């Protein structure tokens, strides 16, 4: 059912009266007046335009590092120190995409424009101003969430019920959807009436999302938001229907983070890398953060079937104090990807330089821009909290698991698997590689991978390199419609890399005709697995199973491969779930297939 924007006028007046004096500088947390309003059970939220039914087709929640067409911010008539932070966001982000500045009325719009001009921001290029009713700057929590129909077909917005009694904030998504012409689906009506916030949601773009258990607490029996009580299973079902989330990982809330939003201490950098805030041992939320991360590492694997990689970044003190002794909740994790730039909150140079180095090492080629957030962090938020990304209308996502260090003989090849997808189809794909970042890049085709493998759409090979080399590489894809995208998005300044280790080759008879490694089945595997091999003549060879770190897991066969078709078997149940490589060697020939064990 479609609902038109409706605000219950007496209730809105009550809500407005409780926070009118502080509306221009509302914190991210609930004010005393807002808590009283919720506890009185008299608050009714604004209802957005759009449909309350879930999207009509399967959807995919966008990863935050994916390509953006726009970045949203809200501008309030608040303190200059807060407006200075917004100014620096606009200054940096407009170089990467459109920046849409949402203003409550025409007067604020004029003031915002003049303020930015006064700070030497070019508002005539990639900066747009939009009159949109709102109560606060915390657009991360109430703004629209981006999903793609059938993975890449069309951009949709999803709007959750906001967990603050700020009725204008709760309707902003519908106005933005009208402005951009993006369909809106909302979780405002039973049985899918669900409270959730953007700061407590992080997705990998492949169906996995992270949150704190706040999502369960705010939708349980007796909640103060007037939504129907839901079990965890029901919440997971709503997230599946509206966001395409198939695995919803929830961690315990933190003792000193009053808002319980995960964006205050962690950030997904890609499909298998978590940047995590770190306190000194035993300090503040440090023990619970570590317990949560160990819970994730021990119970879950990345979408590639491998353990998550963790990058630690310090949680810096405030005047020598941490949140457990009265210091502000300073964090470097509350950052935002804006295409090739990452905006990172900064506080003091002695700590900021370390954070910048960690970010730059984790994301080669990205422009890491630090913005002073001392004025905003007492309100329990920073840059991620006051921005909201809008994905491109026609994404061309490239999914690839970076290669580990590879053992090598001079004539070996290094297999590269990837998924490339676009609504018009993929016209071509290439791998670009080099062993010298100061030298030229070579390239090879990344052909469509046709065997019975539902995991990857393309497979190609980087030619063998001398032992001791470091190979740098990236992937380029072009759609049938002519759109070209690279990944990493910053390539060639950004790249993946792997080391090549020396291996001792053994004498062998080189076959006259190629030896073939046919499609392994079943793949994914969980029990007895078949490895078919074809050899034109009896040939000395070997079949080996390697894990994702390049370590030998099992020698499946070594000896004479008989002429013709033969089959070899191993028990996948003996190995931990994850990604593996099956390598066939015969003379100087090498064939490799990726295998998933689950």
The two tokens of residue 82 are 């807060």
Cα(219)–Cα(227) distance, rounded to whole angstroms? Answer: 7
Distance of CA 274 to CAs 203, 265, 437, 521, Å? 11, 10, 27, 32
Q: What class has domain 398-502?
A: mainly beta
Burial class of residue 484 in the structure, from the number of CB atoms within 10 Å of its CB (0-12 exposed, 13-18 middle, 19+ buried): exposed
Domain 2-391 and domain 516-597 have a common topology: no
pLDDT of residue 565: 84
In angstroms, the first-to-last Cα distance of the chain is 41
pLDDT of residue 12: 34
Cα(304)–Cα(271) distance, rounded to whole angstroms? Answer: 8
Q: Binning pLDDT at 50, 70 and 90, where does residue 24 land? A: low
Instruction: Report yes or no: 388 and 98 within 8 Å, Cβ to Cβ.
Output: no
Q: Specify the higher pLDDT residue, 501 or 58.
A: 58
Return the domain boundaries, the chain: 2-391, 398-502, 516-597
Closest by CA to 359, choosing from 264, 263, 269, 285, is: 269
pLDDT of residue 221: 94
Average pLDDT over residues 23-41: 81
Q: For strand 406-408 and strand 398-399, is the pairing parallel, antiparallel, or unpaired?
A: unpaired
Give me the phi and psi of 233, to 5 degrees please: -60, -40
The per-residue pLDDT for range 530-556, each reduced to its tens digit, is: 899 988 888 888 999 988 767 788 999
The two tokens of residue 312 are 């630690």
**Sheet with strand 208-212: strands edge to edge:** 202-203, 208-212, 247-251
Angle between helix 80-93 and helix 106-118 axes, rounded to 10 deg:
70
- The CATH number for 2-391, chosen from 2.40.10.220, 3.40.50.620, 3.75.10.10, 3.40.50.2000, is 3.75.10.10
Least confident range of 3-7, 52-56, 279-283: 3-7
pLDDT of residue 5: 32
The per-residue pLDDT for range 421-439, each reduced to its tens digit, is: 999 999 999 999 999 999 8
The per-residue pLDDT for range 302-322, each reduced to its tens digit, is: 998 888 999 999 999 999 999
CATH superfamily of 516-597: Macroglobulin (MG2) domain (2.60.40.1930)
| pLDDT > 70: percent of the chain | 91
Local structure of 176: helix, strand or coil: helix
DSSP string, 37-69: HHHTT-----B-SEESSPPSS-EEEPPTTS-EE
Cα(144)–Cα(294) distance, rounded to whole angstroms? Answer: 31
- pLDDT surpassing 60 at residue 505: no
Question: In this structure, how many other beta carbons lie within 10 angstroms of the beta carbon of residue 231?
Answer: 12
The two tokens of residue 239 are 């997230």
Closest by CA to 244, choosing from 335, 153, 170, is: 153
The per-residue pLDDT for range 348-381, each reduced to its tens digit, is: 999 999 999 999 999 999 999 999 999 999 999 9
Contacts of 542 (CB under 8 A, 6+ apart): 555, 557, 558, 559, 584, 585, 586
- pLDDT surpassing 80 at residue 508: no
Average pLDDT over residues 59-80: 95
pTM tops 0.75? yes
- pLDDT surpassing 80 at residue 21: no
Local structure of 264: helix, strand or coil: helix
Burial class of residue 348 in the structure, from the number of CB atoms within 10 Å of its CB (0-12 exposed, 13-18 middle, 19+ buried): middle
- pLDDT surpassing 70 at residue 18: no
């Amino acid at each position: 059912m479609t609902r038109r924007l409706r605000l219950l006028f007496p209730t809105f007046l009550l809500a407005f009266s409780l926070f009118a004096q502080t509306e221009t500088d509302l914190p991210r947390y609930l004010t005393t007046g807002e808590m009283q309003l919720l506890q009185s059970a008299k608050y009714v939220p604004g209802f957005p335009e759009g449909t309350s039914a879930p999207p009509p087709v399967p959807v995919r929640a966008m990863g935050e590092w994916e390509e953006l067409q726009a970045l949203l911010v809200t501008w309030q008539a608040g303190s200059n120190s807060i407006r200075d932070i917004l100014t620096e966001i606009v200054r940096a982000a407009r170089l990467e995409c459109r920046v849409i500045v949402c203003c409550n009325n025409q007067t604020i719009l004029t003031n915002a424009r003049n303020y930015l001009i006064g700070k030497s921001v070019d508002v005539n290029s990639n900066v747009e101003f939009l009159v949109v009713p709102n109560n606060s700057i915390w657009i991360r929590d109430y703004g629209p969430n981006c999903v793609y129909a059938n993975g890449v077909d069309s951009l949709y917005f999803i709007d959750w019920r906001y967990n603050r009694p700020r009725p204008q904030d709760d309707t902003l998504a519908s106005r933005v959807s009208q402005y951009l012409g993006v369909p809106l689906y909302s979780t405002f009506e039973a049985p899918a009436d669900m409270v959730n916030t953007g700061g407590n949601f992080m997705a990998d773009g492949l169906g996995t999302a992270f949150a704190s258990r706040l999502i369960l607490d705010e939708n349980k029996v007796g909640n103060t938001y007037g939504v129907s009580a839901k079990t965890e299973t029901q919440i997971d079902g709503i997230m599946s229907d509206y966001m395409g989330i198939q695995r919803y990982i929830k961690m315990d809330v933190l003792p000193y983070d009053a808002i319980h939003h995960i964006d205050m201490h962690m950030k997904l950098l890609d499909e298998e890398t978590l940047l995590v805030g770190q306190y000194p041992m035993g300090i503040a939320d440090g023990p619970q953060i570590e317990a949560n991360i160990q819970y994730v590492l021990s119970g879950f694997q990345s979408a590639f079937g491998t353990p998550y990689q963790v990058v630690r970044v310090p949680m810096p003190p405030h005047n020598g104090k941490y949140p457990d002794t009265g210091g502000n909740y300073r964090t470097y994790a509350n950052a935002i990807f804006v295409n090739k730039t990452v905006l990172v909150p900064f506080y003091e140079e002695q700590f900021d330089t370390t954070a910048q180095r960690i970010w730059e090492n984790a994301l080669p080629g990205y422009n890491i821009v630090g913005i002073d957030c001392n004025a905003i962090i007492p309100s329990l938020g920073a840059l991620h909290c006051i921005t909201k990304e809008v994905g491109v209308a026609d994404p061309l996502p490239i999914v690839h698991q970076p290669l580990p260090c590879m053992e090598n003989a001079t004539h070996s090849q290094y297999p590269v698997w990837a998924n490339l997808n676009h609504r018009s189809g993929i016209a071509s794909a290439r791998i670009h590689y080099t062993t010298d970042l100061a030298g030229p890049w070579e390239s090879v085709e990344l052909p469509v991978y046709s065997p019975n493998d539902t995991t990857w759409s393309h497979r190609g090979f980087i030619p063998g390199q001398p032992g001791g080399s470091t190979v740098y590489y990236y992937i380029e894809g072009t759609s049938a419609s002519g759109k070209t995208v690279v990944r990493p998005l910053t390539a060639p300044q950004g790249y993946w890399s792997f080391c090549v280790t020396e291996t001792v080759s053994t004498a062998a008879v080189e076959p006259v005709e190629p030896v073939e490694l046919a499609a392994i089945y079943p793949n994914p595997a969980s029990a007895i697995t078949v490895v078919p091999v074809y050899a034109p003549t009896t040939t000395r060879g070997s079949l080996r199973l390697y894990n994702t770190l390049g370590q030998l897991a099992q020698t499946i066969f070594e000896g004479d491969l008989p002429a013709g078709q033969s089959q070899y078997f191993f028990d996948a149940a003996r190995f931990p779930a994850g990604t593996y490589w099956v390598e066939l060697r015969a003379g100087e020939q090498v064939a490799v297939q990726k295998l998933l064990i689950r």
